[in-house]
Chains A and B, each alone.
Chain A
């Protein structure tokens, strides 16, 4: 048992994590491309027309994965932030910083695809509805996190400040998720949930799941790429970074 704990913490050191991440990244890209091709083929070429929304519903294959990722990345970011505060490991803060821009990207995409879906279905690009507003707050939380970290010169202090912001903001995630239940909103209810059978055709469901998996793999690949850059930047005074960059000269 104790051995396992030690091995786990071994990868918390940037020096060991850096080459491991470098080896994993191409695999995540390959999986992202595979799942993306499957999901888009099913979603855009094979899935049937929706009875109520016609062909416009196909935005679901982009909107739902983007929204899920925006929320899930925030949870992972908050997890790393908490780990960083608790154990003071260098890697945790770097992971949190590496995830934030990708989370912001998906939050933006969720709002963008949502607006383009809302216009034909509701007749409005935007309404101040609980689901939409809380997702907008999520985007602001990501931007706030990035701006706060950018404003503090010392990276360890930036990590701590960002971690507290990330942890406070976590309260917004259940608000987004349950907003369609707690309030009367224009936004439709969950298409897929853990507690009941999905309210959609099997083909649509598979398309959506593959697209979601593609977004997962994309996020992991991008976050690992970014964390490697952050590592080089922050560890530039260490011998291992010097040795690494000297080898390729």
Chain B
């Protein structure tokens, strides 16, 4: 272990602001990216399922309205 105390570690030889500023931004973005991706994916899947359901029910309505043409 290179450090004598936690305070030493946090101070980073008077460069704490710069070192931790870098760490913080990198951690923030590398956490945010996968979270946003996951969120976007869930939204897309929900949208597609809604769309497919709407298409299916429309197809059913059409076949009930025109039973003779259902095999078109």
Interface centre among A56, A63, A102, A109 (most CB of B within 10 A): A56
The answer to whether A108 and B15 touch across the interface, beta carbons within 8 angstroms, is: no
> Which residues of B lie under 8 Å from residue A222 when comparing CB positions?
33-34, 37
Instruction: With both chains docked as a complex, state the minimum distance between the C-beta of B58 and any C-beta of chain A, in angstroms.
Output: 15
Would you list which residues of chain A between 86 and 119 have a CB under 8 Å from chain B?
A: 101-102, 105, 108-109, 112-113, 116-117, 119
Q: Which of A45, A47, A58, A232 contacts B45 (CB 8 A)?
A: A232
Q: Which of B2, B23, B44 contacts A48 (CB 8 A)?
A: B2
Specify the chain B residue showing the minimal Cβ separation from A58.
B19
Specify the chain B residue showing the minimal Cβ separation from A246.
B52
Q: Which of A45, A59, A218, A242 contacts B19 (CB 8 A)?
A: A59
Q: Report how many residues on chain A are interfacial, defined by Cβ distance under 8 Å.
A: 40
User: Is the CB of B68 closer than 8 A to any CB of chain A?
Assistant: no
Which secondary structure characterizes the binding site on chain B? helix
Q: Report how many residues on chain B are interfacial, defined by Cβ distance under 8 Å.
A: 30
User: Is the CB of A62 closer than 8 A to any CB of chain B?
Assistant: yes
User: Is the CB of A66 closer than 8 A to any CB of chain B?
Assistant: yes
> Which residues of B lie under 8 Å from residue A51 when comparing CB positions?
none
Residues of A at the B interface (CB closer than 8 Å) are 44-49, 54-56, 58-59, 62-63, 66, 101-102, 105, 108-109, 112-113, 116-117, 119-120, 218, 221-222, 225-226, 228-229, 232-233, 236, 241-242, 245-246, 249
> Which residues of A lie under 8 Å from residue B52 when comparing CB positions?
242, 245-246
Q: How far is it, in angstroms, between the C-alpha of A55 and the C-alpha of B16 when the chains are bound?
A: 9
